[in-house]
A and B are shown apart, each in its own frame.
Chain A
């Protein structure tokens, strides 16, 4: 307890020092304007398509078909959103089922992946077990492969494990993805000093305790980032040839059904895409806030 109080004091000191420094070396107004302009110009590239999507989702049909296309909407209408429930009613499974599947798969798999990857990364980064270098070489090597290469042999394994057409097909293959291990190991290498682990061991903390109470709080940045990446990836997951029952399919599949409608559904597909973007944005906002708050670098340097 004493240590944490000390740490807090130190952090406070650091923060005030930073603020003072910021005050003294702050840029001129011209510099600030230049920075903002530079960022705005490049930022437009990332943000324009999104604005366009949102704007388009409010366009009435005749404005959607105008050529050359106009960027802004003249007579905005919520019709594209109002039509969604009736489009979704045509699906053979209630919409809530797709939503549940997507949320369930994304959340469960993200949690499991972050946990498994962090545990493996902790061992790789901070202990000397046998074959450590071999395992890390496998991690790096496997990063270069994508799902295409392994699709057919993987399918054989899925079917021999009786995983086809179950939830397991989404969850199990995503857990041992090596990106998480690589990311977490780098974070631990950079942020967790070895003396801290040794100190914990001398004080009698076991592997479990060291992991939960010392390593994980320090690399909070890392696993929040990993959570974000993993959630975004899983949120858009669509099974290819491994899921056949409608009740196990995910939200992107339902959305794709609407998008397949083509020209007449252009507005509705824009609307459904806008809705699909909301959960990843929420996860980003939540994780980003805590990332900036912790500012890492706790413990000793």
Chain B
């Protein structure tokens, strides 16, 4: 008899808890459902499809496509037979890992400067965000590509040999031609213009990271800095022990964002090559293999970076 008396409230409690939990998770599912459906249709299914393409021969007939499984043949072809793919892959991967730390560090420095209190702060913030606004679609095309004889306004590639030959008006502002017209020695002109283009490239990919860093910096409570000032901390110590740990989440966000930005940029040689295959000759299997190999390398490295970051740094800082 006694055991029954004890059991009843137990059961009751269990049932009620289960009820709330299931109701909560139902709401949860409803909240995340629209995104999941979209993701499945526009990302996961196409992704699996393209992975299948990369392992098979795709035959395009009018009206339909048929695939035939060939295993690793496509990957062997691009690595052994394609003359340019390996070079493109190496240059894309190295430039990715070279630019990433530069972009992150430069934008952190600029964000910290822009987060200071000084006159004209809003103005400067707007200036540093301008490239993001300009650098889209048609405007960017106009700025970087030579369109039917119209010279590019800025030559964003560090290809200095090309800029010498580009000539003849059309409204282009080319640093090399400007420097040449000022009669500088050729060596100085070359170094100057490559320096300028690399600063350009960096600054033009810093717009969004700067915004992200600024909004991260603004969430750091001022009291921490006041306390550290009272304790007699130097600026350097403030940066290492307050700013950086408090920015841990933002830093991860910026790293991921810059990675995507760099990976999907128009100057990526692997993407360009694969895209050419796809568009010009409708070769979906080889191009699929090209892209998948590149993304496998990058995703692997990035995954390791994120894993180490969250496991080591975030734990230490929080």
Q: Which residue of B lies closest to A267 (CB)?
A: B171
In the complex the two chains form, is B118's CB within 8 Å of A273's CB?
no
Binds A, one of B4-12, B85-93, B200-208: B200-208
Please, which residues of chain B bring their CB within 8 A of the CB of A56? 171
User: Given contacts A22-B117, A148-B275, A262-B147, are A176 and B43 in contact (CB under 8 A)?
Assistant: yes
Task: State the CA gap A22–B226 with chains docked (Å).
Answer: 11
Closest 9 CB pairs of A and B: A176-B38, A236-B137, A153-B49, A262-B148, A236-B136, A153-B46, A146-B264, A120-B35, A207-B27
Residue of A27, A135, A143 near B256 (CB, 8 A) is: A143
Residue of B118, B153, B208 near A52 (CB, 8 A) is: B153
Task: State the CA gap A131–B216 with chains docked (Å).
Answer: 28
A75 at interface by CB-CB < 8 Å: no
In the complex the two chains form, is B41's CB within 8 Å of A157's CB?
yes
CB distance from B36 to the nearest CB of A (A): 7
Q: Is the interface of A mostly helix, strand, loop or mixed?
A: helix
Q: Is the interface of B mostly helix, strand, loop or mixed?
A: helix
In the complex the two chains form, is A273's CB within 8 Å of B142's CB?
yes
User: Given contacts A68-B177, A144-B259, are A124 and B32 in contact (CB under 8 A)?
Assistant: yes
Task: State the CA gap A51–B50 with chains docked (Å).
Answer: 43
Please, which residues of chain A bring their CB within 8 A of the CB of B143? 49, 53
Interface residues of A (CB under 8 A from B): 14, 17-18, 21-22, 26-27, 32, 35-36, 38-39, 42-43, 45-47, 49-50, 52-53, 56, 59, 64-69, 71, 116-117, 119-120, 122-124, 127, 129-130, 135, 138, 140-154, 156-157, 161, 172-173, 175-176, 178-179, 181-183, 186-187, 189-191, 206-208, 211, 221-222, 225, 229, 232-233, 235-238, 252, 255-256, 259-263, 266-267, 269-270, 272-273, 276-277, 280-281, 284-285, 288, 291-292, 295-297, 301
In the complex the two chains form, is B46's CB within 8 Å of A154's CB?
yes
- 0/1 string, B170-202, CB within 8 A of A gives 1: 111110011011000000000000000001100
In the complex the two chains form, is A266's CB within 8 Å of B45's CB?
no
Further 7 A-B residue pairs, CB within 8 A, beyond A43-B124, A146-B271:
A45-B204, A150-B47, A153-B45, A207-B31, A221-B218, A269-B142, A296-B219
Please, which residues of chain A bring their CB within 8 A of the CB of B177? 68-69
Binds A, one of B69-77, B108-116, B237-245: B108-116
Inter-chain CB contacts under 8 Å: number:
294
Please, which residues of chain B bring their CB within 8 A of the CB of A149? 47, 50, 288, 291-292, 295
In the complex the two chains form, is B126's CB within 8 Å of A288's CB?
yes
CB distance from A215 to the nearest CB of B (A): 11
Task: State the CA gap A259–B120 with chains docked (Å).
Answer: 35
B34 at interface by CB-CB < 8 Å: yes
B304 at interface by CB-CB < 8 Å: no
In the complex the two chains form, is A284's CB within 8 Å of B126's CB?
yes
Task: State the CA gap A39–B169 with chains docked (Å).
Answer: 31
User: Given contacts A17-B222, A270-B142, are A45 and B199 in contact (CB under 8 A)?
Assistant: yes
In the complex the two chains form, is B50's CB within 8 Å of A152's CB?
yes
- 0/1 string, B251-264, CB within 8 A of A gives 1: 01100110110011
Which residue, of B31, B45, B250, B275, has the highest number of chain A Cβ atoms within 10 A?
B31
In the complex the two chains form, is B137's CB within 8 Å of A238's CB?
yes
In the complex the two chains form, is B291's CB within 8 Å of A148's CB?
yes
CB distance from B318 to the nearest CB of A (A): 11
| 8 A Cβ contacts from B37-62 to A | 37-39, 41-47, 49-50, 53
In the complex the two chains form, is B35's CB within 8 Å of A263's CB?
no
In the complex the two chains form, is A190's CB within 8 Å of B219's CB?
yes
User: Given contacts A176-B39, A190-B216, A233-B136, are A119 and B32 in contact (CB under 8 A)?
Assistant: yes
In the complex the two chains form, is A21's CB within 8 Å of B34's CB?
no
Task: State the CA gap A187–B250 with chains docked (Å).
Answer: 8
In the complex the two chains form, is B28's CB within 8 Å of A129's CB?
yes
Please, which residues of chain B bring their CB within 8 A of the CB of A53? 134, 139, 142-143, 153
Q: Which residue of B lies closest to A292 (CB)?
A: B122
